[in-house]
Chain A
């Protein structure tokens, strides 16, 4: 029983991490029809620079972690904005080329990070409380899981409120549904593109810092490996659906944890099969609109 509880809670924690990457991917795809392969690089840079600044402020302290998170968000957002303005925008409406460019940026950026920070993971120092555990119905849950879940919930709420109550949110929601009609109402939808990239980049950068807390290290490759899971989550949830991404993140991560424990480490395999199954039964994903 306590094992199951532990697996479920850590699964939700991992799902929180997936969500931070997948939320941006899903919004970007929904609005722009670009599958952003550079998203992992946003995460890695957020994690790496967040760590660099955070440890100077206070290694292993709450203050340091907070600064890391802020820096991670900022860095992720800036990287994303530059990517959108300099590269994506010039290839307006040429979706294949846009995907290719993000592939190139992803490869080049990660290689550059390797050049700067090396290819081996760098061990990070955790805040003492995050190293401890809390007992929940007999299960000793690592405290960093609560941080992950808490932050992901805040991010989810913030994005939902932004989409719901701001003019840009309105444009983004309408654009996900029918971008052509948004421009036909006289709205320059490109501003919304930049904003969506910035939001996605900020969430990914924050995800980078939290990934370093979760795994206990940072590395140039962290984003790339998380990106594949995030893709799977995004597609299962339905490209363009934020709620879908949130639900699929948790489902997939929990499934992965359970399979890893009960089915002899087959978690990765199971979620890949889940993706294939979902796509074949419901090509638009769980909450996606039929094309």
Chain B
């Protein structure tokens, strides 16, 4: 019992310390050779870490749908894309208004949130009428429709294959350019923390409990007089809006976006991340997002290194394809390590506990 109450305090304290440490990184000179491309204060490293945070936030929002509610969605990229494209497009539409940059950004963020909410609740309301594989297919179809619209440069707004860029006049100067990498980094960190807190709140709420219960046994929830549909719609919509928040962070971080973030492949990547981190674990999604981002980056660097270039083709070709390596790791995890990284940690810990007990 004392252990449990101990955990109650230890976990949040550890969490706060971790966030403070992460927030201080741009002011520190730490190097982790082989993992980070340079010291922690360098723009390149901050950029990658910020990217990782946003992917982690996105993975957390996907965790709500897949991990908490147990719904296999193949359309989550839709909401991330809605956030990214929404912010960029609204900003450009606001351009003639000659608003101060900060105000314009705030308005654009609010408008995008509303748009994301509407899209997520509409898609959810339709898709949740079916379950299982059919649900996966409907979500895939909607995401694919978005992908098609975006690539087609619908209404001359989405820029086709080129994508859209953020109009710099509409964004405060402190968020632009390599000099301000640290600011963007902090925004990304703030988004991750925000999404995390929202996820915790949803999971510990009554709705979260019912969603989890409906995942295990839909019938029992119905017997209790609750409609799994409503609960799932809430979770689905919340996850969609949170994904849009991550998307908005991404479009600011990269000063633009391309159709890739709305593709089915992008959702599949998200699935890989959540499974890599450990399905059902919140921090698994975060660790998965970070590990995946860093691994992807390092593997890409490795691919263009002299070491790889000097290898015979049999080794060179597979090793120079990051997605091949990541895909293979993913397959191995699914086959042999259900629970992913979080699962391993869990097993190590509970293994330790049981040996204490004996």
> A-side interface residues toward B, CB under 8 Å?
29, 33, 35, 37, 87, 90-91, 96-97, 99-101, 103-112, 114-116, 224, 228, 231-232, 235, 239, 265, 268-269, 272-273, 275-276, 279-280, 283
Contacts and interface: CB of A to CB of B under 8 A. Distances in A.
A101 B334 contact: yes
Given A29-B133, A235-B134, A279-B137, 6 more contacts: A33-B133, A108-B326, A111-B321, A111-B327, A228-B144, A279-B138
B141 interface: yes
A82 B72 CA distance: 26
B137 A235 contact: yes
B292 to A, nearest CB: 12
B145 interface: yes
A280 B321 contact: no
A112 B152 contact: no
B72 A104 contact: no
Contacts of A272: 141-142, 144-145, 148
A232 B72 contact: no
A107 B318 CA distance: 13
Contacts of B187: none
| Secondary structure class of chain A's binding surface, majority of residues | helix
B328 interface: yes
A283 B130 contact: yes
Nearest to B271: A103
29 contacts: A87-B331, A87-B335, A97-B334, A101-B334, A104-B327, A104-B331, A106-B268, A107-B265, A107-B323, A107-B326, A107-B330, A108-B323, A110-B323, A111-B324, A111-B327, A115-B320, A115-B324, A228-B140, A231-B140, A235-B134, A239-B133, A272-B145, A272-B148, A275-B138, A275-B141, A279-B130, A280-B130, A280-B138, A283-B130
Contacts of B133: 29, 33, 35, 239
A265 B154 CA distance: 11
A104 B320 CA distance: 17
Nearest to A227: B264
Nearest to A235: B137
Interface residues of B, number: 40
A112 B324 CA distance: 6
Interface string B251-278: 0000000000000110011011001000
Interface in B142-160: 142, 144-145, 148-149, 152
Nearest to A117: B317
B134 A279 contact: yes
Contacts of B130: 279-280, 283
B126 interface: yes
A90 B335 contact: yes
B338 interface: yes
B129 interface: yes
Contact of A99 (B72, B272, B330): B72
Given A269-B149, A272-B145, A108 B137 contact: no
Contact of B318 (A99, A106, A112): A112
B321 A112 contact: yes
A276 B127 CA distance: 8
B155 to A, nearest CB: 13
Contacts of B331: 87, 101, 104-105, 108
B138 A276 contact: yes
A114 B140 contact: no
B356 to A, nearest CB: 32
A234 to B, nearest CB: 9
Contacts of A106: 268, 327
Give the top 7 A-B pairs by smallest Cβ distance, nearest first.
Answer: A108-B327, A111-B323, A104-B331, A107-B327, A111-B324, A115-B317, A104-B330
B272 A104 contact: yes
Contacts of B72: 96, 99
B328 A108 contact: yes
Contacts of B327: 104-109, 111
B23 interface: no
B317 A273 contact: no
Contacts of A109: 324, 327
B126 A276 contact: yes
A271 B323 CA distance: 30
Contact of A104 (B142, B265, B334): B334
B142 A276 contact: yes
Contacts of A96: 72
A236 B137 CA distance: 10
B190 interface: no
Interface string B122-134: 0000100110011
Interface string B275-303: 10000000000000000000000000000
A275 B137 CA distance: 9
B106 to A, nearest CB: 33
Contacts of B330: 100, 103-104, 107-108
Contacts of B129: 280, 283
A268 B145 CA distance: 7
A228 B334 CA distance: 23
A235 B144 CA distance: 15
A97 B336 CA distance: 11
Contacts of A279: 130, 134, 137-138
Contacts of B142: 272, 276
B48 interface: no
Given A100-B275, A105-B327, A112 B317 contact: yes
A91 B335 contact: yes
Instruction: Please indicate which of the listed interface residues A90, A104, A114, A279 has the most CB atoms of chain B within 10 Å of its own CB.
Output: A104
